Chain A
Amino acid sequence: MIKVENLKKHFGNNEVLKDISVSINPKEVVVVIGPSGSGKSTFLRCLNLLETVTGGHVYIGGVDLTDKKTNINKVRTEVGMVFQQFNLFPHKTVLQNIMLAPMTVKNVQQEKAKQKALELLRKVGLEDKAEVYPDSLSGGQKQRVAIARALAMEPKIMLFDEPTSALDPEMVGEVLEVMKQLAKEGMTMVVVTHEMGFAREVGDRVLFMDGGYIVEENVPKELFENPQQERTKSFLSKVL
């Protein structure tokens, strides 16, 4: 589903991703952990080309994103993304936030888009918030709307970039709950997070990144209980 080959990314002289290769299977939930500055967010953002790639290849469903002829907008409709800062559209209601992309990008009829949006709001437990503006929502509610907005495009893959890092602690649970449900339904997910509990419980595989490399990857139980690399051990001893 996702295949990354020798991915490199630098900002000027600052090499953020040095050589990343990994492949992710359909329905797999991959959790990316690592210290800040390790390149995990940049890695995630390369998977839908929010960052331009400076070397290597990224394939989504067999399509090479680094090929200039690839229609990136088309690929992005199949790769949803949830951001740390939610990035809801503040000038649109919750319902409009969710309906906009299906209507403008996929030309879905308004009535159909609305039905789908309401259905998704029910799924994330916010059907009563359809008509309000994002400003009046709590952080956890905003993030759940952001998830619904991404799902409205019916993506095959969902990317989560530290989805709970900007939330008050009591709201983390409600967002993780939605993500767990999504994982259960078989969504292919790549999640950058500091929530080790989530990684352990929901992840099929955990990647530990540091210094622009994937230092270690394994099933969660093994990686957390029996880390092989020094850097992994030292990171885990600080966060667990």
Chain B
Amino acid sequence: MDFRFDLIGEYMPYFIEGTFYTIGVSLIGILLGTILGLLIGLGKMMKNKVLAFPFNLHIAFYRGTPFFVQIYLIHFGLIPALIGTTNGLVAGIVALTLNASAYIAEIFRAGIQSIDKGQMEAARSLGMSHVQAMRHIILPQAFKRMVPPLGNEFIVLLKESSILALVAVPEIMYWSRAFQGQYYKVWEPYLTAAVIYFVLTMVLSFLLRRLEKRLATE
């Protein structure tokens, strides 16, 4: 077997562009997913079961169905219904966001519920409202505990973004598939993709470890 490094070299600009897309959609996905996840997590914790139901349903759906199915539903169904045309990039970001939000909602809920209830009681006993207590006392402490599972979710999301290739988002796997189609090569494109993903997740877990250490000493 001769391994064609020259073809990889030829495709390098596309791999680089793809890497930027992968990083971009992952960052946007985790950012929006975190915001949405917080709201959904808080929604799920509402005492009123009827009001909490839609949030529970959201979490159950996105955790209970494959991301592959979700992205097709969003790409071919939801986005055209909303904007009148398909748009792979928008669909990809929306799908990543919604999917991540379900997992992050559970991370938030677990983080918030892990804070000793004496903290809430102390804050309330001082006259703070529930919202003030959440904002100043519970959430800052919960965030710290959420960093490891959030980091984990970020890594999962980064890898999951490879499925965006199927709706023509020009990220790493999209170009790998194009490479395969053009040269009938398998090892060159997909090993290259594997290496890029691996480096990205390694860098990410290194950064997360440092963040955790810094938070731990604060």
Residue numbers of A with Cβ under 8 A of B are 48, 50, 73-74, 76-77, 79-81, 83, 85, 87-91, 100-101, 104-106, 146, 149-150, 153
Contacts and interface: CB of A to CB of B under 8 A. Distances in A.
A157 B126 CA distance: 12
Given A91-B140, A91-B141, A73 B118 contact: no
A47 to B, nearest CB: 10
Contact of B121 (A74, A87, A91): A87
B202 to A, nearest CB: 30
Given A100-B136, A104-B136, A87 B122 contact: yes
Contacts of A74: 127
Contact of A85 (B118, B124, B125, B141): B118
Contact of A77 (B121, B127, B140, B141): B127
Contacts of A79: 125
A74 B127 CA distance: 6
B85 interface: no
Contact of B128 (A87, A90, A104): A104
Nearest to B133: A104
A87 B118 contact: yes
Given A90-B141, A91-B141, A101 B124 contact: no
Interface string B180-215: 000000000000000000000000000000000000
Contacts of B140: 91
Nearest to B144: A91
B113 interface: no
Interface in B94-134: 116, 118-119, 121-129, 132
A50 B128 contact: no
A104 B126 CA distance: 10
**Which of A77, A81, A87, A153 has the largest count of B CB atoms less than 10 A from its CB?**
A87
Most chain B CB inside 10 Å of its own CB: which residue of A73, A85, A104: A104
B141 A150 contact: no
B79 interface: no
Given A85-B118, A89-B119, A50 B125 contact: yes
Interface of B: 116, 118-119, 121-129, 132, 136-137, 140-141, 144
Nearest to A48: B125
Contacts of B137: 89
Contacts of A81: 122, 125
Given A87-B119, A87-B121, A105 B128 contact: yes
Contact of B127 (A76, A90, A146): A76
B144 A76 contact: no
A13 B206 CA distance: 52
Given A50-B121, A83-B121, A89-B119, A101 B141 contact: no
Given A90-B141, A91-B141, A91-B144, A101 B128 contact: yes
A218 B125 CA distance: 29
A104 B132 contact: yes
Which of A50, A76, A79, A101 gathers most chain B CB within 10 Å? Answer: A101
A105 B127 CA distance: 7
B55 to A, nearest CB: 25
A101 B119 contact: no
A76 B55 CA distance: 32
A101 B135 CA distance: 12
A105 B136 CA distance: 12
Contacts of A80: 125-126
A125 B140 CA distance: 29
A73 B123 CA distance: 10
Contacts of B128: 73, 101, 104-105
A73 B121 contact: no
A105 B118 contact: no
A85 to B, nearest CB: 5
A104 B123 CA distance: 11
B121 A153 contact: no
A96 B132 CA distance: 15
26 contacts: A48-B125, A50-B121, A73-B124, A74-B127, A76-B126, A77-B126, A79-B125, A81-B122, A83-B118, A83-B121, A83-B122, A85-B118, A87-B116, A89-B119, A89-B137, A89-B141, A90-B141, A100-B136, A101-B123, A104-B132, A104-B136, A105-B126, A105-B127, A105-B128, A149-B126, A153-B127
